[in-house]
A and B are shown apart, each in its own frame.
Chain A
Amino acid sequence: MITFEAQCARLAEVVGIEEASTLLDWLQAHPQGQLDLSDCTHIHAANLQVLMVKRPTIAALPNHDGLRSWISAALPPQVAA
């Protein structure tokens, strides 16, 4: 489930495959948009590749241990442009 705010998208619980296109559209419309994954427990692989390709700034990593380690491995911190 994704909640979009002005400059921040909050990903919570399980983010399904249908939301990948919404997420992509939002990231294209908000190149500076930040992501809050703290309440997220699983994202579908399609969302994962959206994040890997678009490389948005991650404001908060998931609290979920397993997902956090995978997200950190997939999206190593980048210097914000």
Chain B
Amino acid sequence: MTTLIEQFISESRELLQKVTDALVAYEQSPTDQQLLNEIFRVIHTMKGNSGLFEFPEMTKVLHAGEDLLDALRAGHLPYSHEMADVLLEATDFVVLLTDEIEQQGTIPAHRAQTASEITTRLIALNTHAYPQAAPIAGGPANASADTADNDSPPPELLAQWQRVPPAMRASLAPALAAGQCQWLDYQPEAECFFKGEDPFYLMQQCPEVAWFAVDYVQPNDASMADSVTTDADASALTAQDDPLWDPYQCGLRFMAISSAHIDDVRAHFRYVPEQVSITAMPAEAWKVAAPVSAADVTGKVDDSDAREALRAVALTLLKTQVQVLEQPIEAACFAGVCQAVATTVQNVCMAQQQPDCIAPLAQALASTLSVGEPQPLMLYVAGIYQQWQAAQASTDQVTEAPMTLGANEAEHNKAQVRTDEAHTAKTLKVDQDKIDRLMNLIGEMVVAKNSLPYLADRAENQYGVRELSREIKNQYSVINRIAEEMQQSIMQIRMMPVSFIFQRFPRLVRDTCRKLGKEVNLVLEGEFTEADKLVIEALADPLIHIVRNSLDHGIELPAVRLNKGKPAAGQLLIRASQQTDSVLIEIQDDGKGIDPEVIKRKALEKGLITEAAMQRMTDQQAVNLVFAAGFSTAEVVSDLSGRGVGMDVVRSAIERINGKVTLDSSVDQGTTLRLVLPLSMAITNVIVIESHQQQFGIPMDLVMETVRIAPQDIRQIKQSRAALLRDRIVPLLSLNQLLGLDAPQQLNEQGEVATLVVKINHEYIGLMVDSFKATVDIILKPLPAVLAGMKWYSGSALMGDGSVLMVLNPKELVE
């Protein structure tokens, strides 16, 4: 893929996103002329860009879109939801094409059909520029149907078929029987000359044309097409006497039979698919022809075209013969080979109707055989080859002239793009892999740097060099500072604004509301809040799910809302904000809210909770039941939500990136979901603890405090132990017990037990360990393969001294 195309693709993506956003925004405020201008400008740019490449499908759709927008811009047409639908669909189609260009480097042939459908719809809406658009849309020139499977040939085709001379019909019979013939009916639009088109040239260049005809119909009159045989002359006659007849209104109609593959023919006409109808000719068509006499076949056939087509084959054959003679030939086979070559050349000459060549050929063969050297024959065959080739070249040269002109123009456009590039290349686009590699390297650097304190300790304790130890520590603090700064800058590179996800919402909300018949005002806030790329990417799906849920279950239908005394249009607020080391995302709707009683009843029905648990449950706890697996309150399963893969998926997705979800809801007031996400997932801060002579890490974000509890403060309640800490009863659990280690926790000199107070699901739990070590920044690596199933570990990390630290997942451990 060339750099230019890559540039085109990346630029198109940006522009397309801009268009989608702007289209949705414009639907909200149809008076915003500036917004409309912006959309028009972007579409116009894209159309221009796409024109640099061979992507006519894209250019056509964009062109029709541009026309429609232009009419809107000039105030000729009012904006409607239907227009928005078609324009958005067209945008989606262009996105699809962009994807395909990126993946395959080209647009598949069948897209031309969709492209012309969308174009037709865009044109149909543009009643200002194309007042007669609607009838044309249904006209015969547009029905580019592939009737290969159709048994009976269309009557129109049969009528035209009668114009094909009987001799031609007979010669086409074999190709027809094999189903290789395409019937072409090309009726250029009246204004085509003003678009720089030359339909005559296009038609002449059509591959493998066996028969053709040209008629003068009448410009812009598609209805005439049906009865063209009778009316063609009449039209020409009317025009002949009309002193005001305009030669620049195209009224031509071309018909042809091509034996090229239907896809090749389509590809040839791909700039004008809606003006040409390509029909695979049914094998039956030739049977309709009158019986042909032998005299017809031999008598009147003008086979100069066929001869033309065969010229290339003839040249190849001659070249091969020369090559045969150039090879060393065994004496025994010499006469036979020369004879065979001469026969082939003779047949070629006959086929090309060059009987003059035959006599000299025989002479050359005779002298070759008499001298026993292939030269005379070879020289003669090579002579014919060169002669014919020169003749071929001179005809080709002429037809190439207009092509060169086009190439110059393209070159000019390219040059223009190059100058544009110079203006835009301010930001550096870097491959994500490179950033990831940098991230990994800085991770290793952090780990390596952490080994210096160990070294300092060893210098002091093992070798007794205090001075050196202090110097190492000094150096360490310098390296530490640089490493931390570096880490932060690299993390900055990976930071992305949440607008990356937010920008999809206007479209999502619009489409969903159109589908559900609801009215919603979407408010986005804090779009420029940044978080790590991985966090942002992982957030996309859950967030979309939440928004859909709000629209589907939360916000009521306009009538229901009015009954409740709320405005008909609901409000959906999505707000992002940055907190110290996390990002808070709130999704708030003013819909019907979640009724805790309904949730409780549902949960009981589904056996998620017991009757007793239901009685004890607070409203807040009940509302949070929506996060339980297999919970869905939707009465009807729609295609939007309510399939039971609900909020539990959202919660686990958010927790996977170390985020938290909370939900507040009150009946008829609305629902607020809060997502708290880490800024970055790369570096984790853990506290290292020791239990049964093993070290473990525990994520710091769960740890509330570390305390040492005296034995007398521990209360035994049946099998469990608890302690009163800060006026709160905290259940105590032994880490050894949880890990299945058969040893009691060790106490310190004062007989106190080291306890880590962690907060899990809004509850405080005391984890008793042997001793606390230090807190460290680590790069948490998930456990590989089978080990990944051990949920009570979050992963492992490499420590500065080279040891491996297992990081516990207290949530799983406690449950």
Evaluate contact between A14 and B199: CB separation under 8 angstroms. Answer: no
Q: Report chain B residues within 8 Å CB of A41.
A: 398-399, 401
The reply to whether A70 and B201 contact each other, CB–CB distance below 8 Å, is: no
Would you call B626 an interface residue if the criterion is a C-beta within 8 Å of the partner chain's C-beta atoms?
no
Known contacts being A46-B250, A64-B398, is A52 close to B198, with CB within 8 Å?
no
A53 pairs with B213, CB closer than 8 A: no
Q: Does B363 contact A (CB under 8 A)?
A: no
Please report the total number of B residues contacting A with Cβ < 8 Å.
33
Contact B216 A53 (CB under 8 A): yes
Q: Does A65 contact B (CB under 8 A)?
A: yes
Instruction: Please judge, given known A-B contacts A45-B198, A65-B304, whether A55 and B240 are in contact too, CB under 8 Å.
Output: yes
Alpha-carbon gap, A54 to B250, bound state (A): 15
* Per-residue interface assignment for chain B, residues 247 to 276, with 1 indicating a CB less than 8 Å from any chain A CB and 0 otherwise: 110111000000000000000000000000
Q: Which of B172-229 contact A (CB under 8 A)?
A: 188, 193, 197-201, 203-204, 212-216
Q: What A residues does B243 contact at CB under 8 A? A: 28
Closest chain B CB from A81 CB (angstroms): 12
How far apart are B405's CB and chain A's nearest CB, in angstroms? Answer: 10
Chain B residue at minimum C-beta to C-beta distance from A52? B216
Shortest CB–CB separation between residue A15 and chain B, in angstroms?
Answer: 11
Known A-B contacts A70-B212, A73-B213; A49 and B251 likewise in contact (beta carbons under 8 Å):
yes
Shortest Cβ gap from A11 to chain B (Å) = 14
Chain B residues within 8 Å of A66, by CB: 204, 305, 308, 395, 399
Given known contacts A64-B398, A70-B212, is B247 in contact with A20 (CB within 8 Å)? Answer: yes
For the complex, is B682 an interface residue (Cβ under 8 Å from A)? Answer: no
- List, in ascending order, chain A residues with CB within 8 A of B245's CB: 24, 53
Shortest CB-to-CB span from A13 to chain B, Å, is 8
Q: Does B100 contact A (CB under 8 A)?
A: no
A10 CB, min distance to chain B CBs, angstroms: 17
Known: A14-B401, A64-B395, A73-B213. A45 touches B250 (CB 8 A): yes
| Cβ distance B731 to chain A, nearest Cβ, rounded Å | 90
The chain B residue sitting closest to A53, CB to CB, is B239
Given A17-B193, A49-B247, A43:B204 Cβ within 8 A: no
Answer yes or no: B324 CB below 8 A from chain A CBs: no
Please report the C-alpha to C-alpha distance between residue A14 and residue B215 in the assembled complex, in whole angstroms: 22
Q: B200, A73: Cβ atoms under 8 Å?
A: no
Interface residues of A in 4-34 (CB under 8 A from B): 13-14, 17, 20-21, 23-24, 28
Asked if B38 CB lies within 8 Å of chain A CBs, one says no
CB contact under 8 A between A45 and B398, given known A52-B214, A65-B308, A74-B214: no
In the complex, whether B302 has a CB less than 8 A from a CB of chain A is: yes
Is B155 an interface position by the 8 A CB rule?
Answer: no
With the chains together, A55 CA to B245 CA distance in Å? 14
**Cross-chain contact of A42 among B213, B250, B252, B398 (Cβ < 8 A):** B398
Pick the residue among A23, A49, A50, A70 that contacts B204 (CB under 8 A).
A70
| B248 / chain A contacts, CB cutoff of 8 Å | 17, 20-21, 46
A45 close to B201 (CB less than 8 A): yes
Q: Are B216 and A49 in contact (CB under 8 A)?
A: yes
Residues of A within 8 A of B308 (CB): 65-66
- Among B188, B214, B236, B402, point to the contact of A70 (Cβ < 8 A): B214
CA distance in complex: A70, B255 (Å): 11
Instruction: Looking at the assembled complex, report how far the CB atom of B694 sits from the nearest CB atom of chain A, in whole angstroms.
Output: 87
For A67, list chain B residues within 8 Å (CB): 204
Q: Find the A residue at minimum CB distance from B192.
A: A45
What is the CB-to-nearest-CB distance from B60 to chain A, in angstroms, rounded to a whole number? Answer: 20
Give the chain B neighbours of A55 by CB distance below 8 A: 236, 240
Given the interface contacts A64-B398, A73-B213, A73-B214, does A49 sit within 8 Å of B302 by beta carbon?
Answer: no
A73 to chain B, nearest CB (A): 6
Are A49 and B395 CB-contacts (below 8 A) given A43-B200, A55-B240, A69-B305?
Answer: no
- Ranked nearest first, the 10 interchain pairs of A and B with the lowest CB-CB distance are A45-B200, A74-B214, A41-B398, A52-B216, A53-B239, A20-B247, A45-B199, A50-B247, A24-B247, A48-B200
Q: Which B residues contact A (CB, under 8 angstroms)?
A: 188, 193, 197-201, 203-204, 212-216, 236, 239-240, 243, 245, 247-248, 250-252, 302, 304-305, 308, 395, 398-399, 401-402
Q: Could you list 18 A-B pairs, sorted by A, with CB under 8 Å?
A: A14-B398, A28-B243, A42-B399, A44-B198, A44-B200, A45-B197, A47-B247, A48-B200, A49-B247, A49-B251, A49-B252, A52-B216, A55-B240, A65-B305, A66-B305, A66-B399, A70-B212, A74-B214
Q: Interface on A for B, CB 8 Å cutoff? A: 13-14, 17, 20-21, 23-24, 28, 41-50, 52-55, 64-67, 69-70, 73-74
